[in-house]
Amino acid sequence: MTICQFFLQGRCRFGDRCWNEHPGAGGAGGGRQQQPSGSNRRGWNTTSQRYSCVIQPSSFSKSTPWGGSRDQEKPSFGSFDSGASTSRNRGFGLSQNPFASPSSDGQKDEKKLLEGIIKDMEIWESSGQWMFSVYSPMKKKPNISGFTDISPEELRLEYHNFLTSNNLQSYLNSLQQLINQWRNRINELKNLNTSTTIALLSDIKDGVNQAAPAFGFGSTQAVTFGSPGFPVNNRSSANAQNFSFKPSSGFASAPSGSPSVFGNPPAFGAASSASSAITTSAPTFAFGKPAVTSAASFSFKTPAASGFGSPGFSGFPASMAAGSFGAPGAPAFGSGSSVAGFGSLGSHSHTAFSKSSGNTFGNSSISTSLPVSNGSTTTDNDLFTPKDQLTGEELEQFQSKKFTLGKIPLKPPPTELLNI
Amino acid sequence: MSLFGTTSGFGTSGTSMFGSTSTDNHNPMKDIEVTSSPDDSIGCLSFSPPTLPGNFLIAGSWANDVRCWEVQDSGQTIPKAQQMHTGPVLDVCWSDDGSKVFTASCDKTAKMWDLNSNQAIQIAQHDAPVKTIHWIKAPNYSCVMTGSWDKTLKFWDTRSSNPMMVLQLPERCYCADVIYPMAVVATAERGLIVYQLENQPSEFRRIESPLKHQHRCVAIFKDKQNKPTGFALGSIEGRVAIHYINPPNPAKDNFTFKCHRSNGTNTSAPQDIYAVNGIAFHPVHGTLATVGSDGRFSFWDKDARTKLKTSEQLDQPISACCFNHNGNIFAYASSYDWSKGHEFYNPQKKNYIFLRNAAEELKPRNKK
């Protein structure tokens, strides 16, 4: 087959349906379960390409009808997620160099994000849409601080209450205050100076490092999370749940900061969503395998019984007791079967991932450090290596800005070196 | 058979019966107008379940009342009964056997209205207005689920004054939908939680919102085997997200689309963006309808990812919508939704509920 030129440029609008060959993505559909260990490309980047090409059709087909049927002339839905969301994919898709350093990609992402925010603010102001709404620059990111959520019904109820108590003036005053607050915030975001930019980016970044479940808890605070999910930081109760989720998401929330860690999913057979850092798949694939142990206690284990449409990670909900994400985290890893499961998986994909930065840390932390740490009593040791257990070389690797190929430590980093 | 089953008939009869003048734009689609509509904004609409012969429509309004009409096949609407709350009614739903109607109100209570005896008793209590109410019928239990601005989701056995179960929400409940065994709740601060209702309700998954702004309405859709498989979520920013719970390929299967905007797909000129006030899925075809603050309703086919139809613009926002049990009737309410604040509130303006024949227009497009 001929190679698809548009795909190479990162803008093939037919995606899977394309009649031309998409190198790198061709193996994605069939070989999702296996990580080609002998592939020339770095394991991680193949994955990123795989996902980015899947996302691309939707993000790039702005003015064209949805590429499902090429000859379709019917009125189609408006553009999908144009604007800020494409910036992220563009960062991966267009960079032809699979060895592009994460930092420059990150900077590009940031810039695109900020541009997206400015654009969104302008649209918000000019479109006459409802003012009192939270906002997030990209879907699956936390809300930006400074905006409050008030539904029209709540506002109307306030109005009626004040009316009946003959206190309309105070209603109007507080309304005016809210409007001013909103306007100020919008202007702040439109004219980004350095301080707001820094605050903004920390808003977003901290959310980025967050494992998926943290999002749900983080939203209890009206503002941002701040905590990247490691138990070192003690914020609200949200952290307790974050932490207990740790064992499974050990590889999900690597401190490397880049969303690359989520490239793991295919290795574990989870057809999880894109490379965005926060995905619901994080809990999904983590529990996908050890679900055997916890699913038994849950009526959800067979898709048929569950009644939900398509079968999937039905074992997953074992963890979802009312509101608590953490529950099966410990048992899932405590039982021998699941550790073995991860151990074997870890080793299977080990070779493929050993080349990519940051991942090996995540993977092998499960396969190697857990059996070791089971003997220790403190929970910290389950996840982090005490400094004295690291060799000089490993310590050096952790302390440097990036891992060097071939020297990536197999143990998780010590708590002391973590930058939260 | 009944006129509701055929395609023609309503347009013409509508005009002759109500004779709206050309300057008055309250009913540009020439749909059937429900008689004695509520005196204030209509917050919610609900049709009777298939267990009840005929079609009965319930509407809750900001005039603190809940009204019931019988909708006959000829299109005639007969007001049947009315109940009052001490605060505006935010949500209504029917029990599965069609004998009771549950109403949720800003007076922090929910009531059960027995239609046969025309008595209403309180069955639920919250610390803040109750925003959503749904009836859950499971093989081993039945209950009423109420979501409130007090950040809790409570489940009530109608016979007891204590809730069977209380689940904490991350934020105020803004909208919810239930199709057994799945329930979806969307909260403030873009919170989104899916519950599974087997054995007893429990949280299934918290989902990062696919939308960037405030959640406004949510509706669950089913797959070809009639099992709930995902939901549509609407926001104040003229956008709806279609989200599957366990899709084979989330990046491709889940998507969002823009709607209720003034300039169509022309993204260069500044658009007016309106909130999506309600989403409803056609019970037979699986296509969906959205209604917005712009005063229009639109029909969409989410599988073919196309728009089927957009209505003319009404002079007021459309605040609620609903299909009847067999999908022949589409009801939508034209009343002010507070999307522009108190300045645009005109208590004198009449509020309407329109009925439209939905059997033909919502047929899905054939995918090529």
The beta-carbon neighbor of B246 closest among A74, A77, A308 is A308
Sign of CA dihedral B325, B330, B333, B339: positive
pLDDT score at A85:
39
Pairing of strands B142-148, B77-84: unpaired
Residue B120 near residue B92, CB atoms below 8 Å: no
**Residue A292 reports pLDDT greater than 80:** no
How sure is the predictor about A23, in pLDDT bands with cuts at 50, 70 and 90? confident
CB half-sphere exposure, A179, CA atoms < 13 A: 13
User: How far is Cα of residue A312 from the mean position of the Cα atoms in its chain?
Assistant: 20
Q: Could you give the CA distance from residue A347 to residue B229 in angstroms, rounded to a whole number?
A: 35
How sure is the predictor about A70, in pLDDT bands with cuts at 50, 70 and 90? very low
Among the residue ranges A96-105, A365-374, B133-142, B300-309, the one predicted with the least confidence is A365-374
Yes or no, beta carbons of B209 and A139 under 8 Å apart = yes
pLDDT score at B165:
92
Among chain B residues, the shortest Cα distance to A323 is held by: B203
pLDDT digits (tens, 9 = 90+) for B58-79: 999 999 999 999 999 888 999 9
Mean pLDDT over A17-37 rounds to 58
pLDDT score at B203:
93
Task: Enumerate the residues of chain B whose CB falls inside 8 A of the CB of residue A146.
Answer: none
pLDDT score at A191:
79
pLDDT score at A103:
59
Residue B82 near residue B64, CB atoms below 8 Å: no
pLDDT digits (tens, 9 = 90+) for B262-275: 875 555 667 789 99
Yes or no, beta carbons of A307 and B228 under 8 Å apart = yes
Residue B174 near residue B151, CB atoms below 8 Å: no
Contacts of A155 (CB under 8 A, 6+ apart): A132, A175, B338, B341
Q: How far is A98 from chain B (nearest CA, A)?
A: 21
pLDDT score at B83:
93
**Residue A305 reports pLDDT greater than 90:** no
Q: Tell me which of A373 and A22 has the higher pLDDT.
A: A22
pLDDT score at A21:
82
Q: Which of A297, A343, A340 shows the shortest CA–CA distance to A319?
A: A297
How sure is the predictor about A9, in pLDDT bands with cuts at 50, 70 and 90? confident
Yes or no, beta carbons of B252 and A149 under 8 Å apart = no
Q: How far is A258 from chain B (nearest CA, A)?
A: 19
pLDDT digits (tens, 9 = 90+) for B242-256: 999 988 888 888 999
pLDDT score at A238:
38
Yes or no, beta carbons of A321 and B252 under 8 Å apart = no
How sure is the predictor about B14, in pLDDT bands with cuts at 50, 70 and 90? very low
Domains within chain B, CATH numbers bracketed = 30-340+348-359 (2.130.10.10)
pLDDT score at A374:
40
pLDDT score at A403:
77
Q: Is residue A183 part of a domain?
A: yes
Q: Is residue A203 part of a domain?
A: yes
pLDDT score at A50:
43
Question: What is the rounded average pLDDT for all residues in chain B?
Answer: 88
Yes or no, beta carbons of B214 and A151 under 8 Å apart = yes
Task: Enumerate the residues of chain B whose CB falls inside 8 A of the CB of residue A151.
Answer: 172, 174, 188, 214, 216
Task: Enumerate the residues of chain B whose CB falls inside 8 A of the CB of residue A159.
Answer: 338, 342, 345
- The burial class, CB within 10 Å (0-12 / 13-18 / 19+), for B71 is buried
| H helix runs in A128-280, sequence order | 152-164, 168-190, 194-208, 212-218, 238-244, 246-249
**Residue B80 reports pLDDT greater than 80:** yes
Q: Is residue A125 part of a domain?
A: yes
Q: Tell me which of A330 and B129 has the higher pLDDT.
A: B129
Q: Tell me which of A22 and A323 has the higher pLDDT.
A: A22
What residue has token string 């009913």?
B27
**Residue A405 reports pLDDT greater than 60:** yes
Task: Enumerate the residues of chain A whose CB falls inside 8 A of the CB of residue B129.
Answer: 153, 157
Yes or no, beta carbons of A129 and B236 under 8 Å apart = yes
- How many beta-carbon pairs below 8 A join chains A and B? 250
Q: Tell me which of B368 and A293 has the higher pLDDT.
A: B368
Among the residue ranges A164-168, A277-281, B209-213, B336-340, the one predicted with the least confidence is A277-281
pLDDT digits (tens, 9 = 90+) for A170-227: 888 988 999 998 888 888 888 777 777 777 777 776 654 333 333 333 333 333 333 3
Task: Enumerate the residues of chain B whose CB falls inside 8 A of the CB of residue A313.
Answer: 246
Q: Tell me which of B258 and A28 has the higher pLDDT.
A: B258
Yes or no, beta carbons of A155 and B236 under 8 Å apart = no
The beta-carbon neighbor of B204 closest among A152, A157, A320 is A320
In chain A, which among 142-201 make CB contacts under 8 A with chain B? 143, 149, 151-157, 159-160, 175
| Percentage of residues of chain A with pLDDT beyond 70 | 36
Q: Could you give the CA distance from residue A95 to residue A85 in angstroms, rounded to a whole number?
A: 16
In chain A, which among 78-97 make CB contacts under 8 A with chain B? 78-82
pLDDT score at A3:
85
DSSP A406: T
Q: Does the bond joining B181 to the residue before it have cis omega, within 30 degrees of 0?
A: yes
Mean pLDDT over B325-344 rounds to 92
How sure is the predictor about A144, in pLDDT bands with cuts at 50, 70 and 90? confident
pLDDT score at A206:
66
Q: Tell me which of A72 and B164 has the higher pLDDT.
A: B164
pTM beyond 0.90, yes or no: no
Mutate to test the interface with A, among B182, B214, B303 (most CBs of A within 10 A): B214
Among the residue ranges A392-396, B102-106, B215-219, the one predicted with the least confidence is A392-396
Among the residue ranges A364-368, B58-62, B197-201, the one predicted with the least confidence is A364-368
pLDDT digits (tens, 9 = 90+) for A48-60: 344 434 443 443 4
How sure is the predictor about A402, in pLDDT bands with cuts at 50, 70 and 90? confident
- The burial class, CB within 10 Å (0-12 / 13-18 / 19+), for A27 is middle
Q: Is residue A240 part of a domain?
A: no
Contacts of B354 (CB under 8 A, 6+ apart): B27, B29, B31, B32, B33, B34, B331, B332, B333, B334
Q: Is residue A226 part of a domain?
A: no
Among the residue ranges A190-204, A248-262, A368-382, A405-419, the one predicted with the least confidence is A248-262
pLDDT digits (tens, 9 = 90+) for B133-184: 999 999 999 999 999 999 999 999 989 989 999 999 999 999 999 999 999 9
pLDDT score at B94:
95
Pairing of strands B152-156, B297-301: unpaired
Q: Which amino acid would we find at residue B122?
A: Q
Question: What is the rounded average pLDDT for all residues in chain A?
Answer: 55
pLDDT score at A104:
67
Name the residue range of residue A163's domain.
107-207
**Residue B205 reports pLDDT greater than 50:** yes
**Residue A89 reports pLDDT greater than 60:** no
CB half-sphere exposure, A276, CA atoms < 13 A: 28
Q: How far is A256 from chain B (nearest CA, A)?
A: 22
**Residue A27 reports pLDDT greater than 90:** no
Mean pLDDT over A376-399 rounds to 67
Number of structural domains chain A divides into: 1
How sure is the predictor about A79, in pLDDT bands with cuts at 50, 70 and 90? very low
Q: Kindly provide the ipTM of the predicted complex, given to two decimals.
A: 0.88
How sure is the predictor about A148, in pLDDT bands with cuts at 50, 70 and 90? confident
Q: Is residue A239 part of a domain?
A: no
